[in-house]
Every structure is written in C-alpha cells, then in structure tokens.
Amino acid sequence: MRAASAIPEVSVACPLCGGRGPTFYVENGRRFERCPCGLVFQNPRPTDAWLQAARYEPYDRGAAHGREMRAIYEHAASVLPPGRLLDVGCGPGLFVRMMRSRGWDAEGIDLDRGEDFLRLDLEGPFDALTAIYVLEHVADPRRFVEKARRLLRPGGMLYVRVPHTAPIVRIGKLLAPRWNFFHTPWHLQDFPPRVLLGLLGGWTLRIDRTPTRRGAWARLPVPGRSYTVMATRPMYNAQPP
C-alpha cells in the first residue's frame, strides 16, 4: 500500500469557487474539506505532475463492479444522441467498443495513455461526450465543462457520472471500516448533486439516481450514492456565466 507521505502534495482552494472550509473527513491520511459552496475537496491533494504520471489504480475490478459498469453503459446507450462520441477516461475501452458495435462513431482517450482531455487538441464537434467516473479526478472541473461545451455541437449531450460518498462516509466506515470511500488518493472532490447541476448552469439538465450496485450501499436509506447527469448543450452561442 502506498504511504500517503510518499505523494508530493499541493495545497489548494476549492476548485469550483476558490473558497475554503472546515475539515470534513480524513481518510487514509488524506484530508477532505467542505467548501461553503457545497463541494467536498481533497486538500492538500497530489500534485498535477504526480496525478499525470502515476499509474491509476481502479476502484474495483470485481464482478459487482463489472455489473455496475454494464448497467451504466446500457443506460448511456439508451439516452445518448447518435453520431460522433468521445469517451473521456475510457480506460481499456469497453464502452467505446460497445458503442461502435451499436453504430456510434466512438473514440476514447485516457490519462493512463498520456491523453489529458484539458491539454489535447481535439477537433469537434461531437454529438456526445461521456465522462463516467472521471470528474471526481479532474483538478479543474470548471475548465473540463467549458472544454466539453466547446467540443459539443449545440444540442449535443455531456453524460457525467460521479460517485457521491460524502453523505455515507461516516456510517459507511462503521459498517465497512476498510472500504476506501473517497478512493484516496484519487478522488479530488465529491459533488453533491446541486453543486454539479450548478456547475452545468445554462445546460438543459436531467439527473438519474438509479442505483446500479446491488450491495448494501444501494439499500442504505441515505442519499449518498453515485448518480448521472445528462447535460444537453444549449442551442445559443453565449458564453456560460
């Protein structure tokens, strides 16, 4: 197991609003702070250079995870507009291959192959852009959304799925003390739904909170679980506020 002290760190303010807040939780030596805007963010966090160079360790490779991902991919395929699709954070490319087999002109990029969405010179327009369990890893989610907006055609869809473990981390630790709720050191932030919907202000938004896990988390009577936001790029050309 990697020692937290081995990771070069940088102190940050809230990546959405620049604010600061009290400590929310400490997991595996990584401190998470709750900004007055609602975002829970890791501070200090690993440096950009470390995040880009480190080999990402996926959350879970088990059968339950495979079932969850298949359920998410099927949901995405049922709502995404047809045409040209970019999957950001595509990993080994399972979703890209599935969507190609169903008629999409799909391509994928991944930081593990040195492909940083914010740095790549990508040529739009795309009809759809997917970021499935990606935004919690992005140091500047506002720039991510702005770039997605530029790459999508008007009316195109940004499909974002994020974990939301902040509401269950305390009770969860009692039930599963060894579970890494914020997937430290990898999750830089945890978005309450209202915060992510606010980040996508001006887009046409739908949210899906259907649980895809069949384990205990999905049955807990608390709001903390992953969710999906389907954001359609507005038809007008004004810059976002």
Please choose, out of 10-18, 57-65, 66-74, 83-91, the segment that lies near Zn ion by the rule CB under 5 A.
10-18
- Least distance to Zn ion, CB of residue 51, Å: 20
Residues 35-74: x/- map of binding to Zn ion (CB under 5 A)? x-x-x-----------------------------------
Among positions 19, 44, 81, 124, the unique one binding Zn ion when judged by CB under 5 A = 19
- Least distance to Zn ion, CB of residue 60, Å: 29
Structure tokens at 40: 């829970």
- Least distance to Zn ion, CB of residue 38, Å: 7
Residues 115-154: x/- map of binding to Zn ion (CB under 5 A)? ----------------------------------------
The yes or no reply on residue 162 touching Zn ion (CB under 5 A) is no
Binding residues for Zn ion (CB under 5 A): 14, 16-17, 19, 35, 37, 39
